[in-house]
Structure 1
């Protein structure tokens, strides 16, 4: 191989351009082979990888994966044959900068980056204030799913505001993710269930939530889910799941009793009066 080709392979920007050509032509096997060879030519693999990933396009319509994901998976495979390429081998003065750059790549544009970058750059070892700040940034741009996932993977649930995280998820019809966020944290479990119960009050209006989260755009289907009849069912399900005292959910308990009473009244008076000979 010529010296010029070796230099090309050692340049992360040039390598990314090569890989982009393969990606646009859907030539994945050459992409993987050239990427694997390029990683071996890098002088500083962990820094050069970030240079490649930072210039990769995000999610594209009609594509199941991203170019960055393919490159990152190939780097993971390459790293298994180069066990000395670790963050511990990076000079101390450079570690934090690499970790911050890796953290900044965790957005909705590259959803598959989260697990490998957390592992490669040991993001769990970052100062908690840095991690919380990134989560706040994700929330600020409505990336609540990514913010919740990152919080769970880095075990930050108790360090971020439960309502700020879970209310948008619930409004966006992602209650299962909100459940996952609070699961295993009794205080958060109780707070989320009692919050849902508070939405069952007769005077509650979804307009209150719209004012609290003005950036959220909700469909009619999503807003239709926020009504006492449906919410109270979820509250009772979660009370049982998380072993929550029913006394903490008076609105749902009252609604169930009221609904039962109305049903009994219907059975007693409406059905009986409609039978032949009841007059």
Structure 2
């Protein structure tokens, strides 16, 4: 995952692509007849820790949850060790600045702390002068001391639940979890046909949720697929709840101009 993030991916893409790679290895091993609990405990991952503190914490915790769920439910793992996501983390090389390089010490410290709070098993803290040269002896020592201060002076290693019940973290995990699964699984699936809509809402009772759609050109098609999906679940259109947020109407009201004629959207809303 580290090289994916350094190449320009988002945190969600780093998580999704890395786990997708891991699942591909698992499936290849299973196809060769190996037992999931014989090899899964030895798998490990390598993640990047970037500047957005809470996003990084949530990324790691979401990765652990997605991995555990897939190993148990999709691949039939029985051992707790098989469901445990083991990972190493390195702070973000691309975040280091050549200008005022001493500021990189603060960046690396926050990135390292996010890694620990996210549950990393091992950590590499970059040296503050790496944007300028190979690390000097003093910079390497500061990088090491940064880890030691986090481990022995901050208190974050005293419990594994440092941020587990923070609302910011909980909501962040939910968002990261769903967005990452959109890259590798069900949530966030692109809607091209009725089957896609059914897949997206499989197991979700459309009569009991509120759905907000931000749609423009294909508004009538998507709404029709949504209604048909609800009908196949046994619900009539008047049982559906929620709002339809339509970009065409917002644009028309705000600017009195539009890309597509507003009349079809008005009929849809009505």
* Superposed pair shares fold, TM > 0.5: no
The answer to which structure has the higher strand fraction is 2
Say which structure, 1 or 2, has more relative contact order (CA 8 Å, 6+ apart).
Answer: 2
The answer to which structure has the higher helix fraction is 1
Report which of the two structures shows the higher radius of gyration computed on alpha carbons.
1
Q: Could you tell me the TM-score, scaled by structure 2's length?
A: 0.26
